[in-house]
Chain A
Amino acid sequence: MARLLVQLKLRQLTNALRSSTGAKVSFIISTTFAVLVAFGAFVALALMRGTATSVDLTTVIFTVFAFGWLILPIFVFGLDSTLDPATLQLYPLRTRPLAVGLLAASATGAWPVANVVGLLGVTVGLARGGLGVLFAVLAVALQVLFCMVLARFVTTGMAGLLRSRRGRDLGVFLVIPLFALYEFFAQVVPRVAAEGKINAASFNGFDAWMRWLPPGLAAHAIQDASDGRAGAALLRLAILAAVIIVLGWLWIRSLRQALVTTDTSARSSQVRGTALPLAGYGRAGAVAARYWIYQRREPMSLAYWALAAVIMAAASASAVLQKPQHPAIVLTGAVFGAAFVGGFHANAIGLTGPPFVYEALALTGRRHLRSYFAGESLVLAAIGVPILTALCFGLAAAAGSPLEGIPAAAVALAALGASLGISAIFSVVAAYPMEKRAGNPMPQPASGSGAYRFAILGTLVATAVAAIPAILAAVFTSTVPEPIRAPVLLVCAAAYGLALAVAGVRIAAGAAEQKLPELYQVALRTRL
């Protein structure tokens, strides 16, 4: 059984290389990252040799790896068929050999090997002496086994959920904190570390409670053994082994249950009212109502807003932390934020997907299509304006001149109008299908569609160019008294933005009228 499941896992991995170009690229990137993680973790752990905080940092790294094992199977649930017990339900399999086989499958592949190799850095960093090295090897083996059993326990227990719509939604929502963490470490931490506010001493005592978690037990066992306390080290590893046994028992029980239980996850969501809002505003109102509901109920839409907010916040924090500060950072943040609102939505039809058929059948003439793009743009403006205003005033306050938030908000209004108009045009002239690939809950441009680079970059650049008059107005009126400057600037910038948005909507509607069947075919090829 173990051999069969390992072969299945290997076949899945090798098949990726024979599959589409996208799958091949994903496989190569994933394997390259696994090698980099193995090398990076080994070196990072090895370099801790002799440092006072080596055990704390080792505990942190062991915990991060365990967290990765806990989270990643949720993303690759559809990619690795050994993770879903439903795929094995039809076969007459005994639970114990199956569990051993599944664990062997977990240990197969570049990432499990990268885990073992990377964590073995403790044999150089934390371990001292023969006993230390011996316990380091044992601790790494138990740590990796704990990670595998934990991942199996979680995915088996959550299999019904992960297979369902709610599970797919959960995957999308998990992208947000992970992306926020990535942005934090990529944008904020390096600047804070460069100022000396984060250093090795910051981790002192960090593991006060983490030492009692399984990864902490493994790390501290190595230190105990290195300090000659073999009994304490053995006790820690024994506790870790006991945790693995209990977790394994719970997993096998859950697996036994999953193999004989039909999935009856029929939980469904009910909405409060039955009526769509914005009655009395014609087709534009209907489109806006549907789009507004989607911004609230569709995880992908929420994720786009959250990702835009994370990018804005990380870029702003990064700019504010920069010394010396340039006075233009507030205005730059305003334009950048507005451009992203349009950039994320510059493929309205591809993002809508096959349901666009109901719109394509009903909205045929240019006037109807204007209503369509106007309805969507109104919703984006209704959400984008408060977010951008908060961003402008937040940035201005952080930069020490809160009043600068007013001209920045004016520039943001102009840029947002431009961004929405341009995004509507790109939605038509550079429409492309989207697809969800296993392992990534966020939709990606479908294989072979290069238009997305053109659409996203085009929206960002064109927004920046279109915002220049508003930026110049903000800069050249800086000497005008604020009570006069603020309202005039805000009204003029809003009018300019509105004019650009309306122009964009009209151009988009004219273009869409000519190619509605082609746009529908793009929507039809979208797989969300």
Chain B
Amino acid sequence: MGVPGTELPRWREERAAPGGPAITVRALRKSFGPKEAVAGIDLTIAAGSLAGLVGPNGAGKTTSLSMMTGLLRPDGGQIVINGLDVWEDPVAAKAIMGVVPSEVRLFDRLSGAEMLEYSGRLRGLPAAEARSRATQLLDVLDLTADAKRLVADYSTGMRKKTALGCALIHNPSALFLDEPLEGVDPISADVIRRLLTRYVGSGSTVLFSSHVMELVEQVCDHVSIIDKGRIVATGTTDQVRGGKTLQQAFVDLVGPRASGEEGLSWLGSSSS
């Protein structure tokens, strides 16, 4: 078993040179009854970017990513991934994308190795190739020792890593991750972070949602801030920060939400 690191398996192919748009979103909208969850967002992510979509809880991150990946039908708008319209040509578009959903619910009665092989075979890989890639991914994700354990007995971090392996096994050119590091221990988070950095280095594109500003600031070269279903800022990480920390820029844009702390006058003032 290799030391977990950034070495991607040999089957990674080179991508087109970064620069052109890999993900283009135009006027994307979605309402649930009277609530407008996504109110017409526009977004352009260049190929080879590691882009972050940040926002408070309920801002519309998961809804947007679900529509971008063909899992939720939008009320309006257009999503183009590497020139393929997700809703006009879903078969071709889905073939070139990998997805890690927010709530990672895997087939938990399969072992980790079986889960990865299943994902590969569903994507049309021959069984031998799917097995070979699964073995390499398990190694890179530091899951080889647990490859025969049922996913049901995996920790949150192991599940996230398995889901990432499933999303990568068919060698997609665009990767969508919804809160990929939520509930993940620092070691697993580091493995995932380095793997993603290495992945975009070959020209592939990653778009992930998060509300952990430090993480986004650390790894993303492109950031979009979403609030109440609208993009309130987008650009390179430096542009969005505007000389401040991303946390501060985010708070300035979205605005403080908590109040009423004066009601806790008893807190810390006595032992009862």
The answer to whether A269 and B150 touch across the interface, beta carbons within 8 angstroms, is yes
> Which of A267, A268, A293 has a CB less than 8 Å from the CB of B109?
A293
- Can you list 6 pairs linking A and B with CB atoms under 8 Å apart? A285-B127, A294-B109, A355-B108, A357-B71, A358-B118, A364-B70
Interface string of B162-183 (1 = CB under 8 A from A): 0000100010000000000000
Interface size of A by CB at 8 A reads 42
Q: A332-356: which have CB < 8 Å to B?
A: 353-355
B94 contacts which chain A residues (CB < 8 A)? Answer: 361-362, 364
Are the C-beta atoms of A354 and B124 separated by less than 8 Å? no
Are B118 and A290 in contact (CB-based, < 8 A)? Answer: yes
Closest chain B residue, CB of each to CB of A295: B109
Residues of chain A lying within 8 A (CB to CB) of residue B99: 357, 361
- CB pair A280–B127 under 8 Å, yes or no, is yes
Give A504 to B227 CA distance when docked, in angstroms: 45
Q: Contact check, B122 vs A286: say whether CB atoms are below 8 A apart.
A: yes
Q: Are B131 and A275 in contact (CB under 8 A)?
A: yes
A44 CB to closest chain B CB, in angstroms?
Answer: 43
A2 on interface, CB distance cutoff 8 Å: no
The reply to whether the CB of A271 lies closer than 8 angstroms to some CB of chain B is: yes
Q: Using Cβ atoms and an 8 Å threshold, which residues of chain A touch B124?
A: 282-283, 362
Chain B residues with Cβ below 8 Å from A361 are: 69-71, 94, 97, 99
Query: Which 3 pairs show the lowest CB-CB distances between chains A and B?
Result: A279-B127, A268-B153, A354-B105
B89-111 vs A: 1/0 string, CB under 8 Å? 01100110101010101111111
Are A276 and B127 within 8 A (Cβ)? yes
Does A329 make an interface contact (CB < 8 A)?
A: no
User: Which residues in A have their C-beta under 8 angstroms from that of B101?
Assistant: 354, 357
A271 and B114 form a contact (CB under 8 A):
yes
Q: Is the CB of A364 within 8 A of B111?
A: no
One digit per residue, 1 when the CB lies within 8 angstroms of any chain B CB and 0 when it does not, for chain A 229-271 equals 0000000000000000000000000000000000000111111
The answer to whether A165 has its CB under 8 Å from any CB of chain B is yes
Contacts of A269 in B (CB 8 A): 149-150, 152-153
Interchain CA distance A275-B170 in the complex, whole Å: 17
* Contact between chains at B153 and A279 (CB < 8 Å): no
Alpha-carbon separation in the docked complex, A362 to B110 (Å): 18
Contact A359 B122 (CB under 8 A): yes
Binding site for A on B (CB under 8 A): 69-73, 90-91, 94-95, 97, 99, 101, 103, 105-111, 113-114, 117-119, 121-124, 127-128, 131, 147-150, 152-153, 166, 170
- Contact status B152-A165, CB under 8 Å: yes
CB contacts (< 8 Å) of A267 on chain B: these are 153
The residue from A298, A355, A360 contacting B106, defined by CB atoms under 8 A apart:
A355
Per the bound structure, the CA–CA distance linking A280 and B166 in Å amounts to: 20
A482 at the interface (CB under 8 A from B): no
What residues on A are CB-neighbors of B109 within 8 Å? 293-294, 297-298
Q: Give the residue of A287, A353, A362 whose beta carbon is less than 8 angstroms from that of B123.
A: A362
A520 at interface (Cβ–Cβ under 8 A)?
yes
Within 8 A of B (CB), among A471-528: 516-518, 520-521
The reply to whether the CB of A422 lies closer than 8 angstroms to some CB of chain B is no
CB distance from A293 to the nearest CB of B (A): 6
Contact A268–B71 (Cβ < 8 Å): no
Shortest Cβ distance from B152 into chain A, in angstroms? 5
Q: Which positions 294-332 of chain A face chain B at CB distance < 8 Å? A: 294, 297-298
Contact B113 A268 (CB under 8 A): no
8 additional contacts, CB 8 Å, given A270-B111, A516-B90? A275-B114, A280-B127, A286-B127, A287-B122, A290-B118, A354-B103, A357-B99, A358-B107
Give Cα A276–Cα B124 distance, bound, in whole angstroms: 14
| Known A269-B153, A270-B149, A521-B72: A357·B121 in contact at CB below 8 Å | no
Residues of chain A contacted by B90 (CB below 8 angstroms): 364, 516
Q: Counting CB contacts under 8 A, is A192 at the interface?
A: no
Q: List A contacts of B73 (CB < 8 A).
A: 517-518
Residues of B within 8 Å of A266, CB to CB, are: 153
The answer to the question of A274 belonging to the interface, with a C-beta cut-off of 8 Å to chain B, is yes
Instruction: Provide the A119-152 mask, 1 if CB < 8 A to any CB of B, else 0.
Output: 0000000000000000000000000000000000
Given A268-B153, A269-B150, A353-B105, check contact A362 B111 (CB 8 Å). no
Q: Does A392 contact B (CB under 8 A)?
A: no
From known contacts A274-B113, A293-B110, infer whether A283 and B121 are also in contact, taking CB-CB under 8 Å.
yes
Q: Is the CB of A365 within 8 A of B91?
A: yes
Once the chains are docked, how many angstroms separate the CA of A298 from the CA of B110? 10
Q: Which residues of B contact A282 (CB under 8 A)?
A: 121, 124
Cα of A283 to Cα of B122 in the assembled complex, Å: 5
**B170 partner residues in chain A, CB cutoff 8 A:** 362
Q: Which residues of A contact B128 (CB under 8 A)?
A: 279
Docked CA distance A443–B103 (Å)? 20
Q: Given that A355-B105, A357-B101, A518-B73 are known contacts, is A274 also in contact with B111, CB under 8 Å in the complex?
A: yes
- The reply on A363 being an interface residue by CB < 8 A is yes
Contact residue among B71, B148, B150 (Cβ-Cβ distance under 8 Å from A360): B71
Please tell me if the beta carbons of B107 and A355 are within 8 angstroms of each other in the complex. Answer: yes
A357: chain B residues within 8 A (beta carbon): 71, 99, 101, 105
Q: How far is the CB of B168 from chain A (nearest CB, A)?
A: 13
Q: Which A residues lie within 8 Å of B117 (CB)?
A: 274-276
- How far does the alpha carbon of A290 sit from the alpha carbon of B107 in the complex, in Å? 9
- Kindly state whether residue A409 has any CB partner on chain B within 8 Å: no
Interface centre among B91, B110, B127, B149 (most CB of A within 10 A): B127
- B67 nearest CB neighbor, chain A only: A517
Shortest Cβ gap from B157 to chain A (Å): 14
Instruction: Let me know if B119 and A268 touch, CB within 8 A.
Output: no
Which residue from chain B places its CB closest to the CB of A275 in the assembled complex? B131
> How far is it, in angstroms, between the C-alpha of A362 and the C-alpha of B117 when the chains are bound?
13
What residues on A are CB-neighbors of B147 within 8 Å? 274
Q: A425: CB under 8 A from chain B?
A: no
**Complex contacts, A275 vs chain B, CB 8 Å:** 113-114, 117, 127, 131
